[in-house]
């Protein structure tokens, strides 16, 4: 007997059914992948919390939190809080800053675990190379900075043109000040995903961020909690949101965190970080 094959119509029906199943299952798979990434991102922050606690235990409760001050004492850049290693590509002498001190203290040996798995912007991914290099380990000869995938609470300014006098000192508005004490953070937000401007969330989880608090807790905070404040952070409206320049920090962003004229934090804070504190 001659075996009967599939007709063209039958093949098209089967292909159509497969395409329909894929269209139904793909969004579910994407949602599952994003949910897993969100959990991994929260785990990354939990590890940061452990590292900071260990640093505090070793250095009399002080921890490297803050942001980088601009070229002048009044040029605050509170959303420039993710630098781990400042290099010659942006001026000055190569030096470790902020979370990079955890590397110098040998608490972090490989930074791969400290980048959000959902991040699509090369500036904030592990060893990013396509748009802006983000070398790991720190690479002084390259001239490029290394940035972690998270930002610290901008509680005190680090002078961009001078080294601290000792591990426990920072520079605020040109004057030395002590590093913040970990025990004083308590329920305050201390590390979060990159919140440079209103475009930041769009390169990650889109609808919210993971946040580490000083008591070790990691919370998922929906973007609606701080959207009003974040939307007011200045950004060039002519810039393509996907371009690297849209992530450049602005000076004196009151809507991120309130500081007094002497550089001290206003508590309770009314900016983005204040909204994170109260969630």
Q: Read off the pLDDT of residues 86-112 as tens digits, 9 standing for 90 and up.
A: 886 655 667 888 899 999 899 998 888
25 lies in some domain? no
pLDDT at 35 over 70: yes
CA distance 148 to 144: 13
Residue 99: CA count within 13 A, CB half-sphere: 29
What tokens does 196 get?
Answer: 């440079």
56 lies in some domain? yes
Cβ count within 10 A of residue 39? 13
Count of structural domains within the chain: 1
What tokens does 101 get?
Answer: 């001190």
The mean predicted confidence, pLDDT, of the chain is 79
Band of pLDDT at residue 173, cut at 50, 70 and 90: very low
Q: Which domain holds residue 99?
A: 33-277
148 prior amide bond cis, ω within 30? no
Helix (H, G, I), strand (E, B) or coil at 32: helix
Range of weakest confidence among 12-16, 166-170, 242-246: 166-170
263 lies in some domain? yes
Q: Read off the pLDDT of residues 191-233 as tens digits, 9 standing for 90 and up.
A: 999 988 888 888 899 899 999 999 999 999 999 999 988 888 8
**Rg, Å, the chain Cα set:** 22
The DSSP code for 36 is H
pLDDT at 20: 78
Q: How far apart, in Å, are the Cα atoms of 187 and each of 148, 191, 200?
A: 23, 12, 24
pLDDT at 86: 83
The three-state (H, E, C) secondary structure of 90-125, written as one string: HCCCCEECCCHHHHHCCCCCCHHHHCCCCCCCHHHC
26 lies in some domain? no
Q: Which residue has the higher pLDDT, 236 or 96?
A: 96
pLDDT at 63 over 70: yes
Q: Which residue has the higher pLDDT, 195 or 30?
A: 195
143 lies in some domain? yes
258 lies in some domain? yes
pTM above 0.85, yes or no: no
41 lies in some domain? yes
CA torsion angle for 83, 236, 132, 31 (degrees, to 10)?
A: 90
pLDDT at 78: 81
CB contact at 8 A, 66 and 83: no
6 lies in some domain? no
Q: Which helix (H) or strand (E) holds 177?
A: strand 175-178
Candidate ranges 1-5, 11-15, 190-194; pick with highest mean pLDDT: 190-194
CB contact at 8 A, 102 and 54: no
């Amino acid at each position: 007997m001659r075996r009967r094959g599939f007709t063209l119509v039958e093949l098209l029906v089967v292909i159509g059914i497969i395409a329909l199943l894929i269209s139904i299952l793909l969004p579910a798979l994407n949602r599952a992948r994003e949910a897993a990434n969100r959990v991994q991102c929260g785990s990354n922050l939990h590890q940061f919390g452990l590292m900071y606690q260990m640093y505090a235990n070793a250095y009399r409760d002080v921890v490297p939190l803050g942001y980088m001050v601009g070229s002048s004492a009044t040029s605050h850049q509170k959303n420039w809080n993710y630098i781990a290693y400042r290099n010659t590509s942006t001026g000055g002498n190569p030096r470790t800053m902020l979370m990079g001190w955890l590397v110098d203290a040998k608490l972090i040996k490989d930074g791969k675990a400290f980048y959000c798995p959902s991040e699509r912007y090369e500036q904030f991914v592990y060893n990013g190379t396509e748009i802006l290099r983000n070398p790991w380990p720190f690479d002084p000869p390259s001239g490029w900075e290394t940035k972690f995938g998270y930002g610290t609470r901008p509680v005190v300014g680090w002078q961009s043109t001078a080294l601290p006098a000792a591990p426990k000192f920072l520079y605020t508005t040109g004057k030395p000040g002590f590093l913040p004490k970990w025990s004083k953070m308590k329920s305050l937000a201390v590390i979060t995903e990159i919140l440079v401007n209103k475009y930041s969330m769009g390169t990650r989880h889109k609808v919210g961020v993971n946040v580490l608090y000083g008591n070790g807790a990691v919370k998922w905070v929906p973007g609606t909690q701080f959207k009003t404040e974040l939307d007011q952070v200045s950004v060039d409206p002519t810039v393509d949101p996907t371009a690297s320049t849209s992530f450049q920090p602005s000076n004196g962003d009151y809507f991120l965190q309130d500081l007094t004229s002497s550089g001290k934090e206003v508590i309770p804070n009314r900016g983005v970080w204040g909204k994170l504190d109260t969630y």
